[in-house]
Amino acid sequence: SKSAANTVMLQGFNSRHITGRASGALCKEFRELKLLDKITKLHYNGKLDPSVKGSTCKSLIQEFVLWKGLSYVPQNIHVSIHWNKSNPLVLANKEDVLWTYLKKTQAKK
């Protein structure tokens, strides 16, 4: 649904929680999910360029954007997460963080 119409609230509720704009981080997450969805569909149908490969989501998205270009936007992107020149797709430029398992420490007595 594109609106909060026909939504029933049983207690007091700030309507901005469901009608307000999503945070930048949340929009970025949804954009990345849409790109990963497109990558998956192209790969499944055998139409993904062989240069698009990676071991992490971030590296796959970066390779895909290198192939398609920063101005490429998949079809059916909701207007709230659509990117363009005035609201560009921002890719993370940080290194992937390696996971480290920490050992449990003994509690102090």
Show Cβ contacts of residue 80 under 8 Å, excluding neighbours closer than 6 positions: 21, 22, 27
Mean pLDDT score, 17-41: 86
- The model's pTM is 0.69
- The parent domain of residue 81 ranges over 24-92
- Report the helix count and the strand count for the chain, using DSSP H and E: 3, 0
DSSP alpha helix (H) spans, the chain: 16-19, 24-44, 57-68
Considering its fold, how many domains does the chain have in total?
A: 1
Mean pLDDT score, 2-18: 67
Between 102 and 45, the more confident residue is 45
Residue 80 falls within a domain, yes or no?
A: yes
Residue 1 falls within a domain, yes or no?
A: no
Per-residue pLDDT at 57 exceeds 80: yes
